[in-house]
Structures are given as C-alpha cells and as structure tokens.
Chains A and B, each alone.
Chain A
C-alpha cells in the first residue's frame, strides 16, 4: 500500500510553527515583501480571502491586506523536509521524495501471505495516523495523507480532505469518489488537456474512464489510453526509493523582475545571471546538458517557452547564456517582460566520463571556469559573479559583493561587453 504525505501549506506552516505571532492569522510567504513577485504559499487563514500560491503579490495584498507577508527561506524548508524524510524512513525504507513538501511511502506487507486489500488499507491507516501524530508532536506541522494501492490513487486521495486529512481509497472507492468529478481533477490533466477533452464530450473522470481507447489515442497519442487507465484508478508507476540515486531531468532558474522591463541591458544581465546559476549547478552536480530553454512572460501574463538543442553537451555558463540570449532575441516582441527563466535539460552525468570534450576547445575558458568555481566553493556563490549580470543601470542587483559597483555609463555598450569574457567593471 502506498501513502502520499502532503504537508499542509508547508512554507506558511513552518513560519507559523517558528514564530508565535504568526499563529492563527493569515500568513503569505513570498520573495522580498517590499518588492513585487508572486505568492509562494498561503496559510489556511489566508485562503478564505481567495489568496492562492502563484498569485501576483499585488493581487494578494488587495484581497488580504491584513495578512503578514513573510520572506520565504528555502534553506529552512529544505532542512525541515530532510528531517521529515528521516522520520518517514523510521516507518519504511521505501520513501520517495516527490517535492519539498510531499513524499510517497510504501508500507510493506506483513507476514508471508499478503493480506487482502481492505486489511492492507486498514494497516496503512494506522501507520498514517501515527505519522500525523509524530509530525505534529515533533514539528508542530500538519500533514494530509492519502492512501491507495498505487501512487496515483494515494496522490489523489491526499487532496480529498485538507488540512490534516486522512483518506484511504481502494479502486472501487476511488471510482465512486472521482468519477462524478470534473476531468481536470485527474492527476496529470491540466487546463489545456481538459479543454481538449471537453471538446470531445469528455467532461468527467468517469467519462474519461469509459471513453474509447482508439478515440483517445487518435487525439492524444500514447498518453490517451494511459489517462483512461488512470481515470479507472490503475497506475503501475513504481515507487523509486530515495536511497536509489535518481538523476534530475533538468535544472533551471527563473525570476519575477522587480518591475516590468523592456531594457535590453537589464534583461541581458538577468539572462546572464540565470544562465550562470544554472551552469554552476550543472558543474557542482557533475552534469552537463544539451537542450537550453528560455521562458519569457510579459506584463499580460502571456508566456513563451522556447528551446534549442546543442550539438554537444555543455556546462559552460557562457555557452548556456549565448543560446538563451539568442532564443530571447528571436522570441521577444520588445514589450515589457515580467519574468525570465533559463533551463537546461537532456542532462547526463559526468561521473566516470571524459570531461574535456564538454568544454569549449578554448583551454583558457575552461581554466577560468574552474578557477571561478574554486573561489565560489570556498567563499560562497555571491563572492564572484559575471560583471554583466549586475552592472545594468538601476537594475535590481540583489547582492553586490565587495562594495558598490558603479552604474554603466553607456547602456548601449552592454551587448558588446556581454559577448566578451565576463570581467569586473573597474570603478
């Protein structure tokens, strides 16, 4: 039997657990509250006002001005997430972290003969209640737990009752509960897919379960029949325990800009910073990627995603930036942008492999990258950054190491400078 443990409003709840002033009042976790951005998490006290994760901060302030806006702290949440995993591992060795606030856990069957499904569910419920109690006692946090014969059923069951809910469903119970619901309630069906299904007359999970496999395959390809199986509660996806190494499929960073911007130096500087962060993570994890993608979101919240495959894998900041900049220039209409993102995918591990081919032929470039990484390993990520990422006029340099960096005197110089090797600007 599989459990999905989902921490209730995790980031906001952690802040409430750590700070008594925040308990029982609306709390909204975000980036810097003094700047704009989006809601990262909203406490259950903030949700009746309509505040949701992902909502622009300005809208949240309009809906719930009395909330406490708290700057999120990823280090704190990851540390707690690790402690929670340690707790889960005392119950079962088969734990799969699914996100920072969710984990799957497989309960082994007792005895040589597997019990029937009902008995297995009951046994899992006892374990789940014990876990909820321990999470409350040790961390003062709430968790909702879904239980089912597969990851799909457990995941969907976890959302049935919140907060501090506990829902156990076998396949018949899954079908009774979910079949009357909107097709978008099925895990894996987003708004666009749901709209396409509705155009075929499939509006509920039950209708999807009874739809023709040929019809679904014709319209949605291989995923069509898989979704039909999922709608019936059938899912064979294996649980991948955390003691087995799973390599990431992509690495990316994105940022909501402090204000909508159409400034070329500023946007290029931001892309350079994001590219450098992604490439640095690739190098730290001894990986390289072959596909570079950019994400552009304008002030109307229209999002463009574009990607390009390279001829060979890379983990060089400059190479990632060059491709990201090209994609941005090709797909930007010149209007103000709200958000920028850079992602590298099609990753491969460099453990045991030849690294030299992964760098440009330029030996000096490789040496420079290695030297910069050594400085960052020793002194921290902010100790040295590409000058182009912080030297834009009036830009939002969140941290300027070693004192003040003077503003660039001629913004139109920046594209040219960005093409050269990154160097610190001289005062």
Chain B
C-alpha cells in the first residue's frame, strides 16, 4: 500500500534535455537509485509550479518525489510499503 509522506530528502538530479531528472536520493539513511521515471506531472500552488515524479528503483519499489522550486527542496510524498496481507 502507499504511504503518504512529506519527508524532505536529498536528491541527486540531472538536467536532461531541459528537464529535471532525479537520479538517486537518500531516505531513512539509505541511498535509493532511480531505475526509471515512470511518470511526471506538475501542480500549481499559487505562483509556484511543483514538479512531481513517479519513480521505480532497482528493487521495483515505487515512490513519488516532488521538487518545490520555492526552497528549492525535494520532498518524498509517497512510498510503497508492503502491507501484511
């Protein structure tokens, strides 16, 4: 199931063809490498344009990262956690 989060994270990113591309990030002491960006979209909050990324890591876990240009800062907004079922 997805866990909604609002965790500030350090992200190593690149600018590819004019687009921000997260490459890896640190969360709970672990470095998570981005295997694939599966989706990207934006959301306006006042004058700010927040960029969201759905990503998949090597273990095929998925996360959603948000780049907020007002900081600038990166936020981990959702993470997939295995439930007990």
Contacts and interface: CB of A to CB of B under 8 A. Distances in A.
Contacts of A140: 38
Contact of A76 (B52, B62, B80): B52
B38 A80 contact: no
Interface in A43-75: 66, 68-71, 73, 75
Interface residues of B, number: 22
A17 B37 CA distance: 11
Contacts of B61: 21
Interface string A122-145: 000000000000000000100000
Interface stretch (A1-9, A213-221, A298-306, A373-381): A373-381
B56 A20 contact: yes
B41 A79 contact: yes
Looking at chain B's contact residues, the main secondary structure is strand
B30 to A, nearest CB: 18
Interface string A68-105: 11110101101110000000000000000000000000
Contacts of B46: 376-380, 383
Interface string B28-54: 000000000011111111111000101
Interface in A360-390: 376-380, 383
A109 interface: no
Interface residues of A, number: 24
B41 A76 contact: yes
A18 interface: yes
Contacts of A20: 56, 60, 62
A79 B53 CA distance: 12
Contacts of A69: 1
A18 B41 CA distance: 12
19 contacts: A17-B38, A18-B54, A19-B2, A19-B38, A19-B62, A21-B60, A21-B61, A66-B85, A68-B1, A71-B2, A73-B41, A75-B43, A75-B52, A76-B54, A78-B41, A79-B42, A140-B38, A379-B45, A380-B44
Among all A-B residue pairs, the 5 with the closest Cβ atoms: A79-B41, A18-B54, A380-B45, A380-B46, A379-B46
Interface of B: 1-2, 4, 38-48, 52, 54, 56, 60-62, 80, 85
